[in-house]
């Protein structure tokens, strides 16, 4: 399979990237890790005339905690997230999501920015990041915008990015004490998209759930936040009955279709199973003092 021919740019700074995006609006695509885009190009289902590679743009692979947030540069590779002690220890949900993206080799080049900006509902990061109340930063010639990921994900493969904007980083609020997160993916084999997957975050305050986040993968046109399930948890002790009810509500929030990854009803049931399991994990982690 051979992609179409294109003109390749690897500019050394964002202003040049914006210029190129403006000059070639509608015909240019940003190339990050390329692990989703290049297969599409090989099927000739994507035929961009211009590819703008971000690899020479400095400062886009930052991974650090700063000003109360974890800042993940858009060009941070999945493998770097997976290997980061900071992520492993403080953000288990992000670690677990990065560790199930495609397969280990793909993760060496795939980036979190690509994973989010491709806006494929089957991608693993968005649901986890929704649960964690992540913000995304977009930069264009007219300045910098920060918005909740919820607003960034508009529809299947559609984001709120303007044609000349670039996703710069993803910011996740640092976990409060007694916060736990988890991402659970049900897949038939390594490398497959999720039948369904669930990312959750729970903060406990005096044994009661003070904050909760639940995001769902591949059960709707975008990653979905299960808001009713989230609010249900607030102010409650995370006992088994509560978690089950939250899981049931999360399943109601799912909007799956039947496809090769299973019938819609099955996927909905899996959201329930996975949410309950992920919440149990997250609560355990929170009780163990997670986030400190």
Sequence-distant (≥ 6) Cβ neighbours of residue 74 within 8 angstroms: 32, 54, 60, 111, 112, 113, 114, 116, 117, 166, 167, 168, 169, 170
Evaluated on CA atoms 264, 121, 259, 104, the torsion sign reads negative
CB of 119 to other proteins, least distance (A): 6
Q: What's the DSSP call for residue 111?
A: B
Residue 252 binds to other proteins (criterion: CB under 8 A): no
Choose between 4 and 231: whose C-beta lies nearer to other proteins: 4
Applying CB under 8 A, the span of 137-145, 173-181, 227-235, 276-284 interacting with other proteins comes to: 276-284
Site string for other proteins, 20-59 (x = CB under 8 A): ---------x-x--xxxxxxxxxxxxxxx--x-x-x----
Residue 152 binds to other proteins (criterion: CB under 8 A): no
Q: Alpha-carbon distance 108 to 76, whole Å?
A: 10
Binders of other proteins in range 61-80 (CB under 8 A): 79
Q: Alpha-carbon distance 196 to 1, whole Å?
A: 30
> Phi/psi at 21 (nearest 5 deg)?
-60, -40
Applying CB under 8 A, the span of 58-66, 127-135, 188-196, 208-216 interacting with other proteins comes to: 188-196
Cα 222 to its chain centre, rounded Å, is 11
Binders of other proteins in range 228-247 (CB under 8 A): 244
Residue 172 binds to other proteins (criterion: CB under 8 A): no
DSSP secondary structure, 26-57, as one string: TTEEEESS-TTHHHHHHTTS---SEEEE-TTS
Site string for other proteins, 109-148 (x = CB under 8 A): x--------xxx-x--------------------------
Choose between 205 and 255: whose C-beta lies nearer to other proteins: 255
Residue 16 binds to other proteins (criterion: CB under 8 A): no
Interface residue with other proteins among 62, 71, 157, 176 (CB under 8 A) is 157
Sequence-distant (≥ 6) Cβ neighbours of residue 2 within 8 angstroms: 42
């Amino acid at each position: 399979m051979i992609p179409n021919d294109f003109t390749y740019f690897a500019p050394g700074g964002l202003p040049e990237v914006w210029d190129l995006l403006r000059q070639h609006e509608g015909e240019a695509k940003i190339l990050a890790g390329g692990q989703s885009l290049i297969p599409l190009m090989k099927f000739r289902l994507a035929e961009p005339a211009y590819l703008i590679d971000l690899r020479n743009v400095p400062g886009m692979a930052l991974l650090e905690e700063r000003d109360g947030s974890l800042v993940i540069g858009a060009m941070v590779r999945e493998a770097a997230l997976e290997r980061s002690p900071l992520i492993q220890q403080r953000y288990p949900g992000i670690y677990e999501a990065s560790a199930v993206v495609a397969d280990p080799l793909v993760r060496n080049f795939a980036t979190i920015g690509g994973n989010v900006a491709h806006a494929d509902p089957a991608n693993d990061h968005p649901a986890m990041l929704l649960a964690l109340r992540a913000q995304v930063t977009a930069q264009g010639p007219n300045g910098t915008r920060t918005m909740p990921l919820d607003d960034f994900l508009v529809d299947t493969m559609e984001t709120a990015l303007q044609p000349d904007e670039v996703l710069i980083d993803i910011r996740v609020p640092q976990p409060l004490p007694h916060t736990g997160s988890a991402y659970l993916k049900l897949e038939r084999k390594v490398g497959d998209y999720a039948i369904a997957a669930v990312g959750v975050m729970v903060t406990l305050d005096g044994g009661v759930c003070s904050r909760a986040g639940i995001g769902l993968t591949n059960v709707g046109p975008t990653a979905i936040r299960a808001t009713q399930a989230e609010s249900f948890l607030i102010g409650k002790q995370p006992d088994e009955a509560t978690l089950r009810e939250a899981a049931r509500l999360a399943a109601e929030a799912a909007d799956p279709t039947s496809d090769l990854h299973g019938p819609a009803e099955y996927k909905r049931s899996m959201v329930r199973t996975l949410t309950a399991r992920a919440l149990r994990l997250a609560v355990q982690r929170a009780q163990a003092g997670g986030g400190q």
